[in-house]
Structure 1
Amino acid sequence: MSRTPSIFIDGESGTTGLQIRARLANHKGIEIRSIPEEKRKDPETKRALMEEVDAVVLCLPDAGAKEVASIAREMGAKAPRLLDASTAHRVDPEWVYGFPELTKGHAERIAAARRVSNPGCYPTGAIALLRPLTESGILPADFPIAVNAVSGYTGGGKSMIAEFDAGTVGPFFLYGLGLEHKHVPELQLYSGLSRRPIFVPSVGEFAQGMLVSIPLHLDALPGKPAPGDLEAALTAHYTGSEWVKVLPGEGGARLTPEDLNGSNALELRVYGSAAHRQAVLVARLDNLGKGASGAAVQNLGLMLGVEVDAALPVAA
């Protein structure tokens, strides 16, 4: 009988860590190991557990993630595989970016990697929309891109959740208006863009869910593509994908952000006007699902060689 692989979630009491545990709650193919609460900050206790498990998921601030990565380097051959949910290593060339659908063969790269960086929630939607268009040549790498997005407040972690629970913030706000949001480097790199995109994030008064939208003037693109050409490129890229689906963009529809909550699904749509030569690309996902914990469970399945359901289990 083969041994059940084990993991340690470092930072398991945070939003992402709790959701990973919940998504693995009924999974018999992965064992979750923990450190007693009073010893969670003891480096020797942590190192000892790291020597025993197959993988460590880093649900930590960037500084903490870098510290654990340093411990793993010191451990050499005894080090477990690392899956980092922070932003610390997302553009580090020594880490494999954890978006399996990024391009052909990328899931296999994740499966073979010792160090994987879990994507950010906003970049997941934007990269999913843009990468097929830059790869196909429809969208030039230096094309000026603006990305707009709205997330549920759980994306801001415990502090933002507390603000909304206390009613000390309004129902909606823009932020990142200094144009230095920490997600921009990975968004640019993995979308295949040579020009820095403008990214305008926002938060709404709902717990989970996300919409990412990218407007395009089609006549400004080489070849002057039709909206159907954009949809065809997305469809070709994600054909056969379990979690990413390209759906028709119906111009009269309303699109709400919460419909995929609890899942690991990512929906992509192209809304377009042939008459006005305009299009809007839209991604919908759960910011705690495919945007965080669902993606982490999907990546763990690849890294450990086990089949997983990355969605939250349905309550009986």
Structure 2
Amino acid sequence: MVARVFIDGEAGTTGLQIRERLAMRRDIELLSIPEDKRKDKSARADLLNAADVAILCLPDDAARESVSLIESGTTCVIDASSAYRVAPDWTYGFPEMDAAHGDAIAASRRVSNPGCWPQGVIAAVRPLVTGGLLPADHPLTVHGISGYSGGGKSMIADYDAKGKSANMFAPYGLGFNHKHLPEMTEYGRLAQAPLFSPAVGNYYKGMMTVVPLQLARLDKVPDGAELHAAIADHFSKPGGFVEVAPLEKLERADDLDPQALNGTNRLRLHVFANDARAHAVIIAVYDNLGKGASGAAVQNLNLMLGVDQTTSLAA
């Protein structure tokens, strides 16, 4: 059976990447809206209701409008905005988050695609909280760097125009109210939002999230091996894209490059620790346009269509 898929917002960065990944699929018919009809509510409504799956690559308010236009009882939705990411009647689209979460996505009619930043943070801390190694109320700091494509068309144009003169490392979110904080808190199983300080680098795509852990004041201090084992066990189910690097004692790791997994849908976790100091850090590397956005949407689409979740995705 051929599934009809409509990407509402196909001209944006995420929409274009999704369309590229689906273009050669024989099991999918891509429905497309003429350029002059993209803001025509009636034309969009027709396609939203004709689709088996609608993928929304829109700002939050526009995504809410698209959902309101769906009257068909058969159209499933994957929303790539942040409008529904912590909504109780939507399924969060991080299949590897728990062993059975892919099944929940497959059975859902409303899936909210994760933001790029939260996936690395959730992957780092959720196994530790659920495994009892880290209290939910432990104060956390998160930082990291992402390619400028994460900022969408306007930021891409700005960086392209500036070229080498653009800031190599531009911190932002300095009001500490980033839109991804609710996701990190909810799905990281945290009692309070982390202190999050992201930055944009002068390169197109690829990201790294860094979660330092000061553990000395815990009643029971886990060592690096215990942290690594908990994370590796959490992601041991085969078939997904999250992998855990071997535990190593290093002063420097030249392969820890935010662009290392570009062009793939993989997310790799690294654990480093100094047991004597009770210090550790968990680092996640992935493509902000892959596992961080469009690749995640295609993975969720595959699950909802009942096909192998790796279809059309580079490992």
If the length of structure 1 is used for normalisation, what is the TM-score?
0.94
Q: Name the counterpart of 1:33.
A: 31
Q: Name the counterpart of 1:161.
A: 156
Query: Structure 1, residues 3-49: CA drift from partner, whole Å, max 9, x if none?
Result: 21110000001110111111123222222110111112112211222
Query: Structure 1, residues 34-75: CA drift from partner, whole Å, max 9, x if none?
Result: 011111211221122222210000000011000011112xx1
Question: What is the CA-CA distance between 1:184 and the residue it aligns to?
Answer: 0.3
Mapped to 1, the partners of 2:263 and 2:100 lie a distance apart of: 27
Mapped to 2, the partners of 1:109 and 1:313 lie a distance apart of: 23
Q: Show structure 1 runs of 4+ deviating over 3 A.
A: 308-314
Query: Structure 1, residues 178-199: CA drift from partner, whole Å, max 9, x if none?
Result: 0010000111000000122111
| Aligned counterpart for 2:228 among listed residues 225, 231, 234 | 231
- Whether the 8 Å CA contact 1:243–1:266 is kept in 2: the answer is yes
For the residue of structure 2 that corresponds to 1:32, the secondary structure is strand
Q: Name the counterpart of 2:272.
A: 271
Q: Name the counterpart of 1:244.
A: 242
Q: Name the counterpart of 1:49.
A: 47
Question: What is the CA-CA distance between 1:218 and the residue it aligns to?
Answer: 2.4
Flag structure 1 segments of 5+ consecutive residues without an equivalent: none
Q: Name the counterpart of 2:90.
A: 95
Which amino acid counterpart does residue 215 of structure 2 have in structure 1?
Answer: L
Question: What is the CA-CA distance between 1:221 and the residue it aligns to?
Answer: 2.8
Mapped to 2, the partners of 1:285 and 1:313 lie a distance apart of: 12
Mapped to 2, the partners of 1:125 and 1:304 lie a distance apart of: 26
Question: What is the CA-CA distance between 1:107 and the residue it aligns to?
Answer: 0.9
Question: What is the CA-CA distance between 1:294 and the residue it aligns to?
Answer: 0.5
| Aligned counterpart for 2:22 among listed residues 18, 21, 24 | 24
Which amino acid counterpart does residue 298 of structure 1 have in structure 2?
Answer: Q
Question: What is the CA-CA distance between 1:222 and the residue it aligns to?
Answer: 3.3
Aligned residues: 309
Percent of pairs with identical residues: 50
Mapped to 1, the partners of 2:263 and 2:27 lie a distance apart of: 21
Change (3 A) 1:64 1:310: farther
Mapped to 1, the partners of 2:218 and 2:99 lie a distance apart of: 25
Question: What is the CA-CA distance between 1:284 and the residue it aligns to?
Answer: 0.4
- Whether the 8 Å CA contact 1:138–1:222 is kept in 2: the answer is no
Change (3 A) 1:88 1:283: same
Change (3 A) 1:291 1:222: farther
Mapped to 2, the partners of 1:81 and 1:54 lie a distance apart of: 6
Mapped to 1, the partners of 2:198 and 2:223 lie a distance apart of: 28
For the residue of structure 2 that corresponds to 1:306, the secondary structure is coil
Question: What is the CA-CA distance between 1:213 and the residue it aligns to?
Answer: 0.5
- Whether the 8 Å CA contact 1:61–1:86 is kept in 2: the answer is yes
Query: Structure 1, residues 250-300: CA drift from partner, whole Å, max 9, x if none?
Result: 413121110100100000010111232211100000000000000000000
Q: Name the counterpart of 1:253.
A: 253
Which deviates the most, 217-226 or 156-165?
217-226
Mapped to 2, the partners of 1:194 and 1:238 lie a distance apart of: 23
Mapped to 2, the partners of 1:156 and 1:130 lie a distance apart of: 25
How well do the aligned residues superpose, as a CA RMSD in angstroms?
1.5
| Aligned counterpart for 1:68 among listed residues 66, 87, 95 | 66
- Whether the 8 Å CA contact 1:294–1:310 is kept in 2: the answer is no
Q: Name the counterpart of 2:199.
A: 202
- Whether the 8 Å CA contact 2:48–2:69 is kept in 1: the answer is no
Mapped to 1, the partners of 2:12 and 2:212 lie a distance apart of: 34
Which deviates the most, 211-220 or 181-190?
211-220
Q: Name the counterpart of 1:175.
A: 172
Mapped to 2, the partners of 1:313 and 1:122 lie a distance apart of: 20
Which amino acid counterpart does residue 148 of structure 1 have in structure 2?
Answer: H
Q: Name the counterpart of 1:307.
A: 308
Mapped to 2, the partners of 1:47 and 1:113 lie a distance apart of: 21
For the residue of structure 2 that corresponds to 1:225, the secondary structure is coil
Mapped to 2, the partners of 1:52 and 1:70 lie a distance apart of: 15
| Aligned counterpart for 2:9 among listed residues 8, 11, 30 | 11
Mapped to 2, the partners of 1:52 and 1:125 lie a distance apart of: 35
Which amino acid counterpart does residue 266 of structure 1 have in structure 2?
Answer: L
- Whether the 8 Å CA contact 1:23–1:310 is kept in 2: the answer is no
Question: What is the CA-CA distance between 1:153 and the residue it aligns to?
Answer: 0.4
